[in-house]
Structure 1
Amino acid sequence: MAEEVVILEADPLSTSEEEGFAPIAEEGAEETAATSALQNEEDEQKSKSKKKLLILLILGSILLLGIVIAIVIIIQNKNRAANMPVAVAQVVEKPVLKEQFSPSKLEGMIKKAHLLYEQGNKDDALKIYEKIATFNEAISYYNIGVAKLKEQNFPEALEAFKKAIQNKEHRTISAINAAVCALEMKDNTLFTYYIDLAFAYLPEESNAPLYSYYVGLVHYYKDFYYEALSAVSHPSNDFYKEDQEYLSSKILASLNYNAYALSTLEKIEKMSDYFTLGLLQAKLGEFSKAKTSLLKALQNDRENPKIKMALAMVENKMGNLGNVASLMGEVYKVRDTDAQPIYKMHAILKPSLFDVDKAQIEFEKELFFNDENTYSLIFYYAPYKVFDAKQTIDYIRKGSMNIFIDEIGPALSYLKASSTISKVNIAISKGIKKALDFHVYEANDIFAKMVEEYKNHSILHYNLALTYAQMGDYAAAYKNFSKSYHLDSNNYLAGVFALMSGNLIGKDITKLSEDVKESINKNQTLEKDNLYASLTHLTDGNHFSLTRWIEKEKEDSPLSLMLNIIAAQKLNNERIYRLSTQKLQALLPKDIISNIIAFNVKHQKQDIKNYAKAIQMEFNRLPLDYDAFYFGPKIVKEQYIKLLQIGGLLHQKRDSVRVKMEEERIDIPSIMQTLAYMEIYTNNFEEAFSLYNKLIDDYGKKDTHTIFLASVAAIGAGHSENAIALLELSKLTDPSNVESKYALGLLYQEVGNFEAANAQYRSIGNIGFISDYFSFAIQR
């Protein structure tokens, strides 16, 4: 006998097999980026994950049911004719006759009830179901259970299925549906009991058309995923083939075979489960496709908060943080303030930060040429400015002359001015000496102290700004470059560098750009395609105009050669790119950055594994000046560490840096910065966190970059509260730090402070921001 079985519709976001956006392929298959929804407690999670696969299906064919019922009626009528009972002369109570229906009428009633139910007319549908159920007591309790299950009256449905089991009819299917009821009632003990019961009754169904489906369902609910997959992958017949393929895709997803799960789901023609489709696409890092699928799912169920939050996660991965804020606002403004998150997400560091294989997958050989790295290279090779020695001598000469003619007042004034200028010049000389020796943090301290005393000194502000730019504090660099330029509009480098640092922090530099260009154009002594004008083309993104720069003859200074390299790379001029790289390496043979760029030009066409081998061979023998790495600018630390990581040399070099720090007696904070940064990349987060705390507390290093990296270490070490405090401080120091805002958004979302999270996301907006450091995972 075939029978109608109703399994509750899956709750797609509450199961582990669909939940994820894994350190979602970034981060190639990243980062982790996995999304799966799950409750905090282990038992509740198990219950939730089961529900997802309880799909509203009709396991018993309506047509088969009608045919079987017809057979029952025919057999009963034949038995009555063959075995006519002999009349007994006694008074008996007249039985109440149950209403009988012909098979065709019964089939029509079942179809009508099903149609009414699907159209939302549940009351009338249930009346018909119950009327049908009175036809024969043998199937009455089962169909009442089905009717109550559709009505989501789980306690009464459970009682009906119990009675069906007790009548020894449809025991496997009744037990499965009883387990559904128990699961919906959050009774895990009862759920386990009925699934075990269904498992025990399975042999009774060995000849049933849907035997493979029953086996698949029961094994899945018992966590025997491979056995379940085997059953539904080898159906006993073609009944409900697509439904079994759908279950196969769910099981494959739960086993993390996401690509197979997606391909299985995509080939089911009648299936329009865009929600599941979107989640699988997100797991595989296909965020654009996932967004399209989830938007379709949302069209069919506009107020479903789970779909909205799934879409919010995908938008997050795509860098559309403004959309994330809007979606989260819609979901949580209508929920209780103490409501549990739909997705319990966890802020993490991108796995590619410390996983060599993932780093190699993500590595781009054009590693220098995003906006920040392009500008950082310019800052790295930019010259520091020296004092005007002639001005000092003139002041001293004038002072001496006035003393000679007994004009004491003016003489003292001139000599005092010369003394002040000399003091500033001495400080500038010391600062430049430190900077040229790569002790950029010490140089920054010298310039910062002098600027406090001499606030209107253009050269001081320029040099201070350049140290900030090399340290990665672009907000402070912008402030001081702008000040330097306004104090001396002929300081064109200060003006151009103000534009670059302004771009990096998202400042509106339109007016400043016009002013700088006008000052440069007014200077008749400058050639048309001069260095300063060409640098403004770079800030404008006007790369075509750089053609004239790379074609003209000019002095081969480090800065002009670097602009050549950048321009040639952006214009795809390989000849100039290679030639300029060779010239820069010849000019600075021990410079780490020039050697990294030259290496990249030489090996850029190799696959990543051979590229990594070449790193090991060449950088172990190059005679480099490692002071730039130990003490120097941010870009040297970042790019050299990245290269060491790709080549598998990071741990080896980290050990040598530890030894160097123990030996250092003068610039301890700078090398401590380098070691702390390396500890992040070698997955030693506690050590990194401890070093950054020492830098901040003991050495007073409270620049935004140091504080930000301390927060990175805190997140890696699992100190979320410390990370929030550090990020708030970093944002206060540099309100334009988008990385800090994004990390704060993730951390606030993690602790359930959705209003604060939305404020951070909204402040970033839909700019396509993809963090270099942070991602998120969905906790199971």
Structure 2
Amino acid sequence: MAEEEVVILEAENTPSNEEESFALIEEERTDEITPSEVVPLNQNEKRSPSKKRLLILLIAGVILLIGIMVALLLILNAKDTVSQTPIIKEKEEEKILQKEQFSPSKLDSMIKKAHLLYEQGNKEEALKIYEKIATFNEAISYYNIGVAKLKEKNFSEALEAFKKAIQNKEHRCISAINAAVCALELKDDTLFTYYIDLAFSYLPEESNAPLYSYYVGLVHYYKNFYYEALSAIRHPSMEFYKEDQTYLASKILASLNQNTLAIDTLEGIKAEGDHFTLGLLYAKKGDFVTAKHYLQRAIHAEPHNAKVKIALSMVENKLGNLGNTASLLGEVYKINDTNAQTKPLYNLHTILKPSLFDVQNAQKEFEKELFFTQENIYGLLFYYAPYKVFDAKQTIDYIRKGSMNIFIDEIGPALSYLKASSTISKVNIAISQGIKQALNAHVYEANTIFAHMVEEYKNHSILHYNLALTYAQIGDYAAAYKNFSKSYHLDNNNYLAGVFAIMSGHLINRDVAKLLEDVKESIHKNPALEKENLYLSLLYLTDKNEFSLTRWLEMEKEDSPLSLVLNIIASQKLSNERMYERSTQKLQALLPKDIMANIIAFNAKYHKKAIKSYAKEIQMEFNKLPLEYDTFYYGPKMVKEQYIKLLQIGGLLHQKRDSVRAQMEKEQEDIPAMMQTLAFMEIYTNRFEEAFTLYNKLIDDYHKKDTYTIFLASVAAIGAGHNENAIALLELSKLTDPANMESRYALGLLYQEIGNFEAASVQYRSIGNSGFISRYFSFNIAR
């Protein structure tokens, strides 16, 4: 079957209204007798070679009409010859016998036979008949010779025949169109333009022809006048070639980004050979589940069609089935085979998701998330979790220092004692210094202090716990998991360390089933704990036992920040609106200047509003709130991400970026932390080169080589078009944190883009069919 080119585009990745950008190239129809199909291009784009065979079906019908006309001429000529020359010489007799072989009925029969053979796939026999007609019948026109040569794929001779047909004034419009097709096959764009313009000038000659509207549609289509072509095709002068005109209309609608109309139009005929095209159209629309269904049917019909497999691999990619993506890449490119195809079938281009810097896309995604993805839920708990001091005997309520949003367990007199005691140990001094930095929102500084001390005191449970908490707050979940686990194993009564180890393990896709059972058993064995308690309720959350969270909501308990946040999460999961709003109000009252507490309370108040109204309320409320900004400038990843996202949705991001730049110029105490915040904002304001420069300075000059900083540097590099730098940074990020799926996914895309399919497959396979959907990266297909 003839191969076609087809293209699917993702909503996310183009500036259209589609959710994601996904482009594949449209595959030609498998009906070989149809005219050549062409991938629609924009007005200023180069015409695609896929226009080469759009007219083949039209040709067969015209042959029949011409054949009948030729047959009538033969009859008339034969009669004239008999009346004028009653005695026929031997040689003339042979000529008449030869013409009888191609009498009108015989000619009609042969054309029909060739047509049927071609339809059934017996191309060789069909072409023999066409060749016989073209070669031996003297009455056949140059036009029909051109048709026969075109079916033989002898484009040079076909072009010459159509050229002579035009000179002899034989069907000049359609001959010119077919000549243009030959020029495309011969890759002569200048000649293509000449003949399609010629066809345009001959259109008036066909104004009374039954297929006039089809000719008009084809010529305008080839000239990239898609609206005019669509108008002609959708108002046919007759019903001939209805399916072909419908198919062409669908392609034009797809090129105009009218994907739903394109699908509806094509599904009106729904031929077996259209499964590939429908799969691509659904993928372009962003309906990847339906796209997969059609592409699988297309593969069933054509199991060795490489383009269908690669299209399916990209749809699987969008669905998070990256193990399937790796397998399909391996099948097509025969990884580790020295004779394998190495040139990409489609030119994949790695991009950043438009939602990172496009307000419309950001609003769509935000409306779906509402802060309650798994990472955001765990991030809230890490953010409001207490730090611990060395004196485990002294239990003091969770408090915060001044207007800061970092919390500490067992502080009060213990912290004063630490500062005053002359007998205090070195590790306790380090803990107090680290906690002081954390209380003042300088979480990166606290992390540095704890990391330095843990090298010297490797078996200190509280030190490992505090270090793990700083790692969790800056987004290095692999390091958080390692240190939370260590803390819990050093002290099985440190239940928060155990629970947080499970949460951070989930975020890096670690198997924590055994740890979960161990922590549960340890909690149940403690007679001092109530049957229902904070630690057990947190485990219910990690175990997705949401019904059991009802008991947590019904308990009498102290309103600490951590317990209130668990209330908020539980009530949201259980759809308890009354408890959800009441708990958010309590948290806001407890921490009136806390950015996160205000964002959560705002969301509870307005989350039912349409996103545009929601954005307007952001502008009205967050411009007047007296917030404490130190946690945004220096503090946890959670605050930076959520506040920037909120500002972006409300259209306030550029305004806040200017104030951060001004603050950066005055900063003396914690320049790297402020630089982190500014660089992050530069990404979201589409200033990738500036962000890339700042991250390079953080890595090279300030030696900030945590996985999150390195990863964000790679994000900026891709946005700035520095893909080689991005690959190097992502490889480093992967080494620092092998469980970072974002790094692996981006590497897979970048390696696939440069044609290193083996390396791409390794990254995709490591993620597997986990349903992973990147927050940062996507791809489109370059034409």
TM-score by length of 1: 0.89
> 1:426 & 1:197 partners in 2: Cα distance?
88
Q: How far does residue 352 in structure 1 lie from its aligned partner after superposition?
A: 0.8
Residue 122 of structure 1: aligned partner: 123
28 and 465 in structure 1: CA distance in 2 versus 1, 3 angstrom threshold: farther
Residue 4 of structure 2: aligned partner: 11
- SS of 2:387's partner is coil
Is the aligned partner of 1:753 residue 2:756? yes
Residue 201 of structure 1: aligned partner: 202
Tell me if structure 1 keeps the 8 A contact 2:322–2:768: yes
Counterpart selection for 2:544 from 523, 541, 545: 541
Is the aligned partner of 1:567 residue 2:560? no
Counterpart selection for 1:665 from 664, 668, 671: 668
Residue 181 of structure 1: aligned partner: 182
Is the aligned partner of 1:381 residue 2:384? yes
Residue 12 of structure 2: aligned partner: 23
Comparing 539-548 with 62-71, greater Cα deviation is found at 62-71
Q: How far does residue 99 in structure 1 lie from its aligned partner after superposition?
A: 2.3
Residue 99 of structure 1: aligned partner: 99
Deviations 1:751-773 (A, max 9, x none): 11111111111111111111000
Is the aligned partner of 1:583 residue 2:586? yes
Residue 415 of structure 1: aligned partner: none
91 and 332 in structure 1: CA distance in 2 versus 1, 3 angstrom threshold: closer
User: Aligned letter for 1:220?
Assistant: Y
Aligned residues: 740
> 1:11 & 1:91 partners in 2: Cα distance?
52
- SS of 2:780's partner is strand
Tell me if structure 1 keeps the 8 A contact 2:485–2:497: yes
Is the aligned partner of 1:151 residue 2:143? no
Q: How far does residue 27 in structure 1 lie from its aligned partner after superposition?
A: 11
Tell me if structure 2 keeps the 8 A contact 1:28–1:362: no
Deviations 1:556-592 (A, max 9, x none): 1100111111111111111211111111111111111
- SS of 1:347's partner is strand
Q: How far does residue 121 in structure 1 lie from its aligned partner after superposition?
A: 2.9
Residue 293 of structure 2: aligned partner: 292
126 and 389 in structure 1: CA distance in 2 versus 1, 3 angstrom threshold: closer
> 1:503 & 1:92 partners in 2: Cα distance?
93
Residue 680 of structure 1: aligned partner: 683
User: Aligned letter for 1:85?
Assistant: Q
Q: How far does residue 66 in structure 1 lie from its aligned partner after superposition?
A: 5.4
- SS of 1:348's partner is strand
54 and 455 in structure 1: CA distance in 2 versus 1, 3 angstrom threshold: farther
- SS of 1:204's partner is helix
513 and 55 in structure 1: CA distance in 2 versus 1, 3 angstrom threshold: farther
> 2:56 & 2:379 partners in 1: Cα distance?
55
> 2:450 & 2:585 partners in 1: Cα distance?
34
> 2:283 & 2:210 partners in 1: Cα distance?
36
Q: How far does residue 204 in structure 1 lie from its aligned partner after superposition?
A: 2.6
Residue 405 of structure 1: aligned partner: none
25 and 685 in structure 1: CA distance in 2 versus 1, 3 angstrom threshold: closer
> 2:17 & 2:179 partners in 1: Cα distance?
43
99 and 335 in structure 1: CA distance in 2 versus 1, 3 angstrom threshold: farther
Q: How far does residue 20 in structure 1 lie from its aligned partner after superposition?
A: 2.4
Deviations 1:486-533 (A, max 9, x none): 111111111111111111111111211111111111100100111111
Residue 603 of structure 2: aligned partner: 600
1:82-97 to 2 correspondence within 5 Å? 84-85=83-84, 96-97=95-96
Tell me if structure 1 keeps the 8 A contact 2:363–2:611: yes
- SS of 1:718's partner is coil
Tell me if structure 1 keeps the 8 A contact 2:130–2:148: yes
> 2:694 & 2:88 partners in 1: Cα distance?
103
54 and 625 in structure 1: CA distance in 2 versus 1, 3 angstrom threshold: farther
Tell me if structure 2 keeps the 8 A contact 1:27–1:33: no
1:399-414 to 2 correspondence within 5 Å? none
> 1:487 & 1:688 partners in 2: Cα distance?
41
CA RMSD of aligned residues (A): 2.9
> 1:285 & 1:531 partners in 2: Cα distance?
42
> 1:253 & 1:240 partners in 2: Cα distance?
20
Is the aligned partner of 1:509 residue 2:512? yes
> 1:123 & 1:281 partners in 2: Cα distance?
36
* Greater RCO structure (CA 8 Å; 6+ sep): 1
Residue 461 of structure 2: aligned partner: 458
Structure 1: state its 5+ residue gaps.
Answer: 1-7, 392-417
Comparing 518-527 with 170-179, greater Cα deviation is found at 170-179
Q: How far does residue 336 in structure 1 lie from its aligned partner after superposition?
A: 5.5
Tell me if structure 2 keeps the 8 A contact 1:27–1:352: no
Tell me if structure 1 keeps the 8 A contact 2:64–2:111: no
Tell me if structure 1 keeps the 8 A contact 2:442–2:634: yes
Q: How far does residue 49 in structure 1 lie from its aligned partner after superposition?
A: 4.8
Q: How far does residue 163 in structure 1 lie from its aligned partner after superposition?
A: 3.7
> 1:467 & 1:27 partners in 2: Cα distance?
40
Is the aligned partner of 1:467 residue 2:466? no
> 1:527 & 1:390 partners in 2: Cα distance?
19
Q: How far does residue 78 in structure 1 lie from its aligned partner after superposition?
A: 6.0
Is the aligned partner of 1:613 residue 2:616? yes
Residue 491 of structure 2: aligned partner: 488
> 2:569 & 2:87 partners in 1: Cα distance?
110
Residue 222 of structure 1: aligned partner: 223
> 2:93 & 2:502 partners in 1: Cα distance?
101
User: Aligned letter for 1:762?
Assistant: R
Residue 653 of structure 1: aligned partner: 656
Tell me if structure 1 keeps the 8 A contact 2:59–2:147: no
463 and 228 in structure 1: CA distance in 2 versus 1, 3 angstrom threshold: same
Q: How far does residue 203 in structure 1 lie from its aligned partner after superposition?
A: 2.8
> 1:302 & 1:271 partners in 2: Cα distance?
14
Residue 247 of structure 2: aligned partner: 246
204 and 137 in structure 1: CA distance in 2 versus 1, 3 angstrom threshold: farther
> 2:350 & 2:702 partners in 1: Cα distance?
29
> 2:161 & 2:274 partners in 1: Cα distance?
31
Residue 235 of structure 2: aligned partner: 234
Tell me if structure 1 keeps the 8 A contact 2:689–2:716: yes
Q: How far does residue 426 in structure 1 lie from its aligned partner after superposition?
A: 1.2
Tell me if structure 1 keeps the 8 A contact 2:282–2:291: yes
Tell me if structure 2 keeps the 8 A contact 1:431–1:444: yes
517 and 88 in structure 1: CA distance in 2 versus 1, 3 angstrom threshold: closer
Q: How far does residue 205 in structure 1 lie from its aligned partner after superposition?
A: 2.0
Tell me if structure 2 keeps the 8 A contact 1:39–1:344: no
Tell me if structure 2 keeps the 8 A contact 1:686–1:717: yes
Tell me if structure 2 keeps the 8 A contact 1:9–1:54: no
Tell me if structure 2 keeps the 8 A contact 1:26–1:362: no
Q: How far does residue 243 in structure 1 lie from its aligned partner after superposition?
A: 1.6
> 1:109 & 1:93 partners in 2: Cα distance?
24
TM-score by length of 2: 0.89
Q: How far does residue 190 in structure 1 lie from its aligned partner after superposition?
A: 2.9
> 1:335 & 1:229 partners in 2: Cα distance?
47
- SS of 2:579's partner is helix
> 1:541 & 1:314 partners in 2: Cα distance?
29
Residue 346 of structure 1: aligned partner: 349
Comparing 673-682 with 190-199, greater Cα deviation is found at 190-199
Q: How far does residue 286 in structure 1 lie from its aligned partner after superposition?
A: 1.2
> 1:420 & 1:135 partners in 2: Cα distance?
114
669 and 765 in structure 1: CA distance in 2 versus 1, 3 angstrom threshold: same
Q: How far does residue 125 in structure 1 lie from its aligned partner after superposition?
A: 2.2
- SS of 1:143's partner is helix
Comparing 675-684 with 242-251, greater Cα deviation is found at 242-251
Counterpart selection for 1:434 from 437, 442, 445: 437
User: Aligned letter for 1:11?
Assistant: E
Is the aligned partner of 1:476 residue 2:479? yes
Comparing 669-678 with 265-274, greater Cα deviation is found at 265-274
User: Aligned letter for 1:23?
Assistant: E
User: Aligned letter for 1:275?
Assistant: F
> 1:197 & 1:220 partners in 2: Cα distance?
14
Tell me if structure 1 keeps the 8 A contact 2:214–2:236: yes
271 and 220 in structure 1: CA distance in 2 versus 1, 3 angstrom threshold: farther
